[in-house]
């Protein structure tokens, strides 16, 4: 059933529901008609038998009674299906038709109405005991049902014959309707099938019907937009990555070729090898960064989060940062709190994040400048800031510094050797901790990079700060 096309399934359901409905209708209509026939006949019988009872009550002698019944105009006009007996079953009066079609002497002496067919004709028989002159008479009055039953049978025949035809017609209508209703779905399917990586920017035509199909098309278009964006990012990333890798490889190749062009002194060879080794080191760290971002994208780079003291993490990164700063004659200041600040984090990743920020601060701050690292907890977050008095970042570059491969002034940045991946990695680390990273900067005055990481939980920090 599930492998059939939807419109066939809808039609089948439609058919099943209709067939059940028709059958129920038929059964109910049939019994309701029969019930109402019995009701009408019974009322008639009740009315007529009153006349007979009055007559019996007037005359109580046996012979006289039979005669009276035979003579009574009213009774003869109303019904000739009448019989009267005593409780022992001896006839007092029996009309001609009753002796032909009617039941035998009554065994029941209580009031009752039953349907019987003692002979050729189905009868509705009303039995009534009447007391008169100290005797009991059992009066039975009957009404033939054959005409009614024939009408009922005709009705049943019509129902049986017309139902399949009606069902067939209705199902064909249902099929047509479901085809019509599902046609736009086929349209959407066809359009969606034609979209591939080559034309990810094409979109489905949205029907402005305000219904489920419009919502479906819009949802699919939204999904396409997200896919296109992700696809673009990946393509861009691959292109940038290969470009970044090609440069140092070409450089190493040139160095080696130049060195081999003619015989050289051992010192010259050593020099070339040293330069190539330096290039190689830069290239492998670039590859490492690229792989980290690729793992982050695919969601396979998992953090080992434990409860750690942020003061220690930042302090460790500062040890290295201070060394970097001092070789460039930059003043390095730390403003770290005494009490611990607990967070759920991966200490290696966090150290890496702060080294990225400190490395940038040193790179983009001239000698005699100042770098300040501070840490505090506020609003349920650990807030760390790396502040420098360096060259700053132009306002139009600020929104892009966290983008992959972005470098503000490309020529100058290449001199300092970065690939523009540091802050992308830093941002990923902050976000993987449920935190954020922000930048404030003024060209010529310096920059502030602010990292916020949620605290490990209120009570743990309260306990932690008491220790």
- Which residues would be at the binding site for ligand ADP (CB under 6 A)? 356, 360-361, 364, 388, 390-393, 401, 406-408, 413, 418-423, 447
Query: Is the CB of residue 369 less than 8 Å from the CB of residue 330?
Result: yes
- Measured at the CA of 411, the angle between CA 406 and CA 416, to 5 degrees, comes to 80
User: What's the Cα-to-Cα distance from 17 to each of 22, 25, 179, 181, 351, rounded to whole Å?
Assistant: 9, 12, 18, 19, 68
**CB of 436: closest distance to ligand ADP in angstroms?**
16
CA–CA dist 16, 19 (Å, integer): 5
Our measurement of the distance from residue 330's CA atom to the centroid of its chain's CA atoms, rounded to an integer in Å, reads: 58
* 59 or 374: CB nearest ligand ADP: 374
Residue 360 within binding range of Mg ion, rule CB under 5 A: yes
Q: Least distance to Mg ion from the beta carbon of 302, Å?
A: 24
For residues 184 and 369, which CB has a smaller minimum distance to ligand ADP in the complex? 369
Name the minimum Å distance from CB 373 to Mg ion. Answer: 16
Instruction: Please choose, from the candidates 407, 383, 381, 399, the residue with its C-alpha nearest in 3D space to the C-alpha of residue 441.
Output: 399
Q: Which residue is nearest to ligand ADP (CB)?
A: 418
Q: Is 73 or 415 the residue whose CB approaches ligand ADP more closely?
A: 415
The answer to whether 390 contacts Mg ion (rule: CB under 5 A) is no
Q: List % helix, strand, coil for the chain (3-state, nearest 5).
A: 60, 15, 25
Q: Which is nearer to Mg ion, 190 or 243 (CB)?
A: 243
From residue 402 to residue 441, the character string flagging contacts with Mg ion as x (rule: CB under 5 A) and all else as - is: ----------------x---x-------------------
Q: Which is nearer to ligand ADP, 275 or 413 (CB)?
A: 413
Under a CB-based contact definition with an 8 Å cutoff, are residues 135 and 13 in contact? Answer: no
* Cβ at position 460, least distance to Mg ion in Å: 33
Which of Mg ion, ligand ADP, none does residue 408 bind to, with CB < 5 to 8 Å depending on kind?
Answer: ligand ADP
CB of 418 to Mg ion, least distance (A): 4
- Give the one entry of Mg ion, ligand ADP, none that residue 155 binds, where binding means its C-beta sits below a cut-off of 5 to 8 angstroms depending on kind: none
Q: Which is nearer to Mg ion, 38 or 282 (CB)?
A: 282
CB-CB contact of 276 with 300 (8 Å): no
Task: Count residues binding Mg ion (CB under 5 A).
Answer: 3
Which C-beta is closer to Mg ion: that of 274 or that of 414? 414
> In whole angstroms, how far apart are CA 189 and each of 217, 236, 256, 448?
10, 30, 57, 51
CA pair distance 301, 288, nearest whole angstrom: 13
Rounded alpha-carbon distances, angstroms, from residue 221 to 182, 196, 199, 214: 19, 13, 13, 10
Nearer to ligand ADP, 321 or 422 (CB): 422
Q: What angle separates helix 310-327 from helix 347-363, to the nearest 10 degrees?
A: 30
- Give which of Mg ion, ligand ADP, none residue 393 binds (C-beta under 5 to 8 Å, depending on kind): ligand ADP
- Measured from the Cβ of residue 338, the count of other Cβ atoms closer than 10 Å reads 6
95 binds Mg ion (CB under 5 A): no
The stretch among 48-56, 126-134, 316-324, 357-365 that binds Mg ion (CB under 5 A) is: 357-365
Strand pairing report for 306-309 and 82-85: unpaired
Q: Does 217 bind Mg ion (CB under 5 A)?
A: no
| Spatial distance between the Cα atoms of 34 and 155, rounded to a whole number of angstroms | 11
CB 421 to Mg ion: min, Å: 8
Residues of this chain that bind Mg ion (CB under 5 A): 360, 418, 422
């Amino acid at each position: 059933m599930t492998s059939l096309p939807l419109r066939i399934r809808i039609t089948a359901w439609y058919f099943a529901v209709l067939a059940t409905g028709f059958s129920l209708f038929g059964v109910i209509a049939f019994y309701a008609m029969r019930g109402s026939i019995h009701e009408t006949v019974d009322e008639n019988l009740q009315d007529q038998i009153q006349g007979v009872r009055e007559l019996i009550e007037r005359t109580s002698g046996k012979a006289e009674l039979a005669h009276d019944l035979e003579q009574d105009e009213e009774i003869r006009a109303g019904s000739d299906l009448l019989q009267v007996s005593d409780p022992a079953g001896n006839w007092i009066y029996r009309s001609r038709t009753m002796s032909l079609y009617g039941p035998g002497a009554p065994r029941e002496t209580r009031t009752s109405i039953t349907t019987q067919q003692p002979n050729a004709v189905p009868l509705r028989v009303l039995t009534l005991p009447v007391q008169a002159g100290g005797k009991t008479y059992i009066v039975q009055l009957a009404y033939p049902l054959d005409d009614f039953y024939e009408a009922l049978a005709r009705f049943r025949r019509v129902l049986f014959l017309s139902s399949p035809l009606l069902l067939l017609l209705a199902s064909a209508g249902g099929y047509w309707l479901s085809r019509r209703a599902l046609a736009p779905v086929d349209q959407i399917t066809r359009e969606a099938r034609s979209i591939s990586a080559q034309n990810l920017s094409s979109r489905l035509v949205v029907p402005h019907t305000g219904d489920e199909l419009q919502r479906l098309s819009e949802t699919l278009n939204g999904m396409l937009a997200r896919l296109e964006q992700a696809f673009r990012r990946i393509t861009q990333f691959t292109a940038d990555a290969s470009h970044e890798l090609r440069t140092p490889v070409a450089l190493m190749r040139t160095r080696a070729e130049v060195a081999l062009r003619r015989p050289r002194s051992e010192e010259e060879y050593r020099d070339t090898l040293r330069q190539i080794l330096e290039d190689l080191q830069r290239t492998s760290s670039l590859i490492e960064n690229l792989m980290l971002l690729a793992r982050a994208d695919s969601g396979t780079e998992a953090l080992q989060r434990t409860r750690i003291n942020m003061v220690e993490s930042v302090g460790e990164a500062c040890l290295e940062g201070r060394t970097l700063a001092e070789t460039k004659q930059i003043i390095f200041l730390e403003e770290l709190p005494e009490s611990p600040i607990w967070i759920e984090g991966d200490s290696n990743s966090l150290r890496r994040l702060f080294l990225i920020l400190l490395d940038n601060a040193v790179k983009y701050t001239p000698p005699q400048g100042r770098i300040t690292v501070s840490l505090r907890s506020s609003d349920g977050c650990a807030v760390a800031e790396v502040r420098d008095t360096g060259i700053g970042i132009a306002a139009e570059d600020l929104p892009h510094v966290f983008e992959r491969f972005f470098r503000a002034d490309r020529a100058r940045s290449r001199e300092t050797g970065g690939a523009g991946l540091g802050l992308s990695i830093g941002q990923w680390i902050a976000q993987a901790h449920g935190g954020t990273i922000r930048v404030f900067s003024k060209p010529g005055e310096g920059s502030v990079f602010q990292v916020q990481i949620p605290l490990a939980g209120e009570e743990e920090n309260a306990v932690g700060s008491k220790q």
